Amino acid sequence: MALEQPASLAQHLVNGLCLGGLFALIALGYTMVYGIIELINFAHGEVFMVGSFLGLLALEALFGWGITSIFVALPLAIMASMIGCAALGVALDSVAYKPLRRTPTWSAVGSAAFAVVGLLLILLPGKGGIGGSVDSPAVWASRMAGGLVLVLFALQAYRLDERSASRPRSTPRINALLSAIGMSIFLQNLVMLAVGRDTQTFVQMSDFTGLSATSFPALGIEVQWIEVMTVVSALLLMLALDLLVTRTRLGAGMRAIAQDPEAAMMLGIPVTRVITMTFVVGSALAAAAGILYGLRTGGIKFNDGFIIGLKAFIAAVLGGIGNIRGAMLGGFLLGLSETVLVATMDFGWEALGHQVHGDEASRLWPRAEFHDYKDAIAFLVLIVVLCLRPSGLLGAPQVEKV
């Protein structure tokens, strides 16, 4: 029924492209990090979520200062959110992943213990701290100060230790994976404590000035401007990334490390810096996706990063993890299969019913309920693709990674 009307097909296409653009932007972060250090950065979904909250924060601040034009406020907010998330990505790497890429020393373990105690002092709810009932200002201030001193001390001790005893090594990959899952849980709970469990209303498209309407008629449907913006900015960012990887020194460094980190190091490529830049770029893309997502759905929540991050990860695997163009392709493929493919299946099922039962179909034929299983269908697509091409669509072993 749904596809008999061209308007419905057009609508499904628009929905799918939008969703696909978001998936692709997030999938890039997964695939780039995997391509370079073979780590599945499970906290990447949370970076996306933090990006949407930073975007909301920036937009509200800009609105507070009277800057409401969509042509000024939105790019500024996207920029702010991208910078914030880039910093978060670097912090993630240096706190959770980098220490696992080198031989542990007792002083590193000791500084980690100091950092944990300091963070507990600052964050532990109950009395004082974020989300707790605030006790007397003096107690609170001394807790915060004490915690901060401990954390700073730990960081400094760790840095000194790193300088004196930095030896790269190959640790079991599961260590970094567990660390990533831990960071994901940590970030989710941090945001929950900071903003609460409820859905936070995002800035609406109609709140901006500079647009006469939030949608325009095309293809027989009302197309929302945010949908156009989502697809266009996703494509632009991907184009920029592609240029970065293929045309710049940094990109060449990334590709070199992806092929053979030790050889790259011997050739004088600053491996640590390139890895850091990879986190910067991947996290910034996720931040852009976060703000576009917030504008499109109209509300965001602390656990939004989980399911969307998971789907973006599937998109990355679908396209061949480690392959940038594969992630883009996988994202759009997943977005379209959740919308157009599901609608086609619904339509095909009903058409089949008409073939079998004629006009009696509505009474005798079971209702098409493929839509209820749209998430399962996304996984089904993944399974089918992986059966046919075990390393993903573009992830053939010969094709260069990153």
Which residues contact another protein by CB under 8 A? 1-2, 4-5, 8, 11-12, 15-16, 19, 198-199, 201, 204, 215, 221-222, 224, 296-299, 301, 303-304, 307, 338-339, 342-343, 346, 367, 369, 371-372, 374-375
185 vs 198: CA distance, rounded Å: 18
Q: Which is nearer to another protein, 251 or 335 (CB)?
A: 335
Least distance (Å) between residue 102 CB and another protein: 39
369 vs 345: CA distance, rounded Å: 9
Least distance (Å) between residue 297 CB and another protein: 4
Q: If you search the block for the tokens 């656990």, which residue do you land on?
A: 303
Give the Cα-Cα-Cα angle 126, 123, 58 (nearest 5 degrees): 120
Least distance (Å) between residue 83 CB and another protein: 26
Q: Which is nearer to another protein, 1 or 165 (CB)?
A: 1
Q: Which is nearer to another protein, 144 or 195 (CB)?
A: 195
387 vs 397: CA distance, rounded Å: 16
Q: Which is nearer to another protein, 14 or 394 (CB)?
A: 14
Using alpha carbons, select from 38, 311, 321 the residue that is nearest to residue 174: 38
* In contact, 158 and 116? CB cutoff 8 Å: no
Least distance (Å) between residue 12 CB and another protein: 6
Tell me the two tokens of residue 269: 């490529």
Using alpha carbons, select from 4, 32, 69 the residue that is nearest to residue 250: 32
Least distance (Å) between residue 120 CB and another protein: 24
Neighbouring C-alpha atoms within 13 Å toward the C-beta of 197: 0
Least distance (Å) between residue 292 CB and another protein: 12
* In contact, 54 and 84? CB cutoff 8 Å: yes
Q: Which is nearer to another protein, 100 or 221 (CB)?
A: 221
Q: Which is nearer to another protein, 12 or 401 (CB)?
A: 12
Beta bridge partners of 223: 216
